[in-house]
Amino acid sequence: MGYSKEHIYMNYIRGAYKVLESDWQKHAREIGLTQAEQHVLWIASIEKEATITRISEVGLWDVSTVMQVLKRLKDKGLIEMHKKESDRRISYVTLTDQGWEKKEASKAFSYKIFDYIHDFVNESEENEQLFQCVVKFTRELNRHFYGNDFTHWVEKDSKVTK
């Protein structure tokens, strides 16, 4: 791949992510969270009882980062951490009632990038097919770098067309 193609790919991917990240950070702040805290709430809600390792795997963070985020969420009263009698080495994370409320509140926001995608795919059948190719490509890209477990988790509770 030539330098100019790398430049194009890198900047288009970064530009698209910046649109998402900007909205994500803004919406998280509006409900008193960081982007990472909001993401952990979503992971814990999907997993029901998430281990610290599991949160780090699907959140794409180091365990030390997860521990810092969990401490803040616990201090805010949004999560509880407990151990099971069968294995006291593993800590499990669950949402408190307040955590569930905060997670639900985070669903109320719209994201410019998803509004654009919705409008784009509804313009024509060709655009819908193009976007399905983009979804397939990004699924395979993530599978390559993060494995089947990650892509299965992403699609676990979603209605993404495979």
Q: Which two tokens stand for residue 90?
A: 């593993």
Listing DSSP states for 40-103 in one string gives: HHHHHHHHSSEEHHHHHHHHT--HHHHHHHHHHHHHTTSEEEEEETTEEEEEEEEE-HHHHHHH
How far apart are the C-alpha atoms of 85 and 92, rounded to whole Å? Answer: 12
Q: Render pLDDT for 87-107 as a digit per residue (tens, 0 to 9).
A: 889 999 999 999 999 999 999
In this structure, whether the domain defined by 1-108 belongs to CATH 1.10.3210.10 is answered with: no
Domain ranges of the chain: 1-108, 110-162
Q: What is the pTM of this model?
A: 0.87
CA-based nearest residue to 35, from 53, 64, 61:
61
Q: Render pLDDT for 105-139 as a digit per residue (tens, 0 to 9).
A: 999 999 999 999 999 999 999 999 999 999 999 99
Burial 111-134 (b: 16+ CB within 10 A, else e): eebeeeeeeebeeeeeeeeeeeee
Average pLDDT score over residue span 132-151:
96
Q: Render pLDDT for 26-63 as a digit per residue (tens, 0 to 9).
A: 999 999 999 999 999 999 999 989 999 999 999 999 99
How far apart are the C-alpha atoms of 61 and 110, rounded to whole Å? Answer: 25
Which pLDDT score is estimated for 32?
96
How far apart are the C-alpha atoms of 85 and 149, rounded to whole Å? Answer: 27
Residue 160 has pLDDT above 50, yes or no: no
Task: Say if CB 81 and CB 66 are below 8 A apart.
Answer: no
Residues in the chain: 162
CA-based nearest residue to 117, from 136, 142, 104, 134:
134
Residues 6+ apart with CB under 8 A from 92: 49, 50, 51, 81, 82, 83, 84
Residue 12 has pLDDT above 50, yes or no: yes
